[in-house]
Homo-oligomer: A and B are copies of this chain.
Amino acid sequence: MKWDTLENEPCPVARGLSVLGDRWTMMVVRDCFLGIRRFDQMQQRLGITRHVLADRLRKLETAGVLRRDPYQDRPVRYEYRLTEQGKALYPILVTLIDWAEDNVPPKTVTAMTILSQETGRPIDPILVDSNTGNPITHRNVTVRKTG
């Protein structure tokens, strides 16, 4: 199966991965959440090749995750910002961080910790069903196949 047929899959996992499923995309999204907006800055921080970065930014723009805004004329320069769709990726980023902290041991000290503004302490993210307030686990849900 080729890469670009994935977005036509009925499975939402496949469709999500058609946008996010590669080495770099979530790293770019991470930088956007950290307030990085410009090409060169991302390129240097990530150590990604310029070619691939340009490609990913284009794809994220096409997917509606990022918006490309001019921030000056003459010469015109653009910066990249998260759209609402892009901001909606935050829970994925947080659950990814949470999993990695517990399950992919860092060779050095970890680079970032997310703190609650309310408590000032590291957050402990759990996923709950907003209808009931109860935690979601793979044991208390069922999957209905519709396709």
- Structural contact, B134 and A118, CB atoms closer than 8 A: yes
Q: Are A117 and B88 in contact (CB under 8 A)?
A: no
Q: Does A145 reach chain B (CB closer than 8 Å)?
A: yes
Give the interface residue-count category, chain A.
Answer: 35 or more
Q: How far is the CA of A6 from the CA of B85 in the complex (A)?
A: 26
A17 to B1, CA, bound (A): 22
Nearest-CB residue, chain B, relative to A1: B47
List CB contacts (< 8 Å) of A117-133 with chain B: 117-119, 121, 123-132
Chain B residues with Cβ below 8 Å from A111 are 9-12, 145-147
Task: Check B146–A109 contact: CB distance below 8 A.
Answer: yes
Enumerate 20 A-B pairs (CB-CB under 8 Å) in ascending A order. A8-B108, A12-B101, A13-B30, A19-B100, A20-B96, A21-B26, A65-B103, A90-B138, A111-B147, A112-B143, A112-B145, A116-B129, A116-B131, A116-B136, A117-B141, A117-B142, A123-B129, A124-B130, A125-B128, A126-B129
